[in-house]
């Protein structure tokens, strides 16, 4: 497992005199990892599961940082949000994918739940969301991209990121209330759960699709 420069990834203790977090990873392959910290532990697990995606995220951060003058731009906002809260919607079912894009949550999670369980899965790679899921609750939401089950997920996620131009923003990611997946919470067994717009927010007019 290496970064974009071919440096071997190692999980090491933070060092006060080291370069910034992303630049240290890019220049040396060293990922600052605090002992007994679940957030960092999940981050390390995602590196192991999605090494190409994590390396691409890091390389894009490292390329953008020198151009920003100390002020994070929208592309790095996208990278950070995906790193912390990203997910993959894995499916070849165009109809279900459209329900996600249109934020038609009750139809997706309740009316089409058996089809959903057969034909679509969510793969969370945002380490902050993985940490939050230790105490599952309504409201835990990811920002997602859409991938096929027929190709390696890591390759597809890394390629999607590589295709993001300088003007990419977090709006390019789809909101995904992962807690709505059937069985994730006990409340998901009741239809009225999916009518609660505090959690299952509908698309704003003109924003769906």
Domain that holds residue 108: 10-195
Q: How far apart are the first and last CA of the chain?
A: 37
Helix, strand, coil tally for the chain in percent (to 5): 50, 15, 35
Provide the pLDDT for residue 136. Answer: 84
Provide the pLDDT for residue 166. Answer: 80
Provide the pLDDT for residue 70. Answer: 66
**Integer Cα distance of 154 and 125 in angstroms:** 10
Residue 206 lies in a domain: no
Q: Which residues of the chain have pLDDT under 70?
A: 18, 70, 205-209
Provide the pLDDT for residue 122. Answer: 96
- Model confidence, pTM: 0.90
Q: Is 69 helix (H, G, I), strand (E, B) or coil?
A: coil
Provide the pLDDT for residue 203. Answer: 83
Residue 134 lies in a domain: yes
pLDDT in tens, 85-100: 999 999 999 999 999 9
Residue 208 lies in a domain: no
Domain count, the chain: 1
65 neighbors 58 (Cβ within 8 angstroms): no
88 neighbors 123 (Cβ within 8 angstroms): yes
């Amino acid at each position: 497992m290496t970064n974009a420069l071919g440096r071997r990834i190692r999980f090491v203790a933070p060092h006060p005199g080291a370069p910034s977090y992303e630049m240290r990873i890019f220049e040396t392959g060293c990922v600052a990892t605090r002992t007994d910290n679940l957030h960092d532990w999940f981050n390390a697990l995602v590196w192991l599961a999605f090494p190409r995606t994590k390396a691409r995220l890091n390389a894009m951060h490292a390329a953008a940082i020198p151009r920003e003058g100390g002020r994070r731009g929208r592309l790095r906002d996208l990278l950070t949000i995906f790193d912390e809260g990203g997910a993959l919607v894995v499916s070849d079912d165009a109809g279900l994918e459209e329900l996600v894009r249109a934020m038609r949550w009750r139809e997706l999670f309740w009316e089409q739940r058996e089809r959903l369980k057969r034909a679509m899965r969510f793969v969370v790679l945002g380490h902050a969301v993985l940490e939050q899921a230790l105490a599952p609750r309504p409201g835990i939401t990811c920002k997602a991209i859409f991938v096929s089950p027929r190709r390696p997920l890591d390759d597809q996620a890394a390629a999607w990121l590589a295709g993001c131009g300088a003007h990419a923003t977090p709006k390019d990611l789809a909101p995904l209330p992962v807690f709505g997946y059937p069985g994730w919470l006990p409340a998901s067994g009741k239809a009225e759960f999916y009518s609660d717009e505090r959690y299952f927010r509908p698309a704003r007019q003109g924003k769906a699709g």
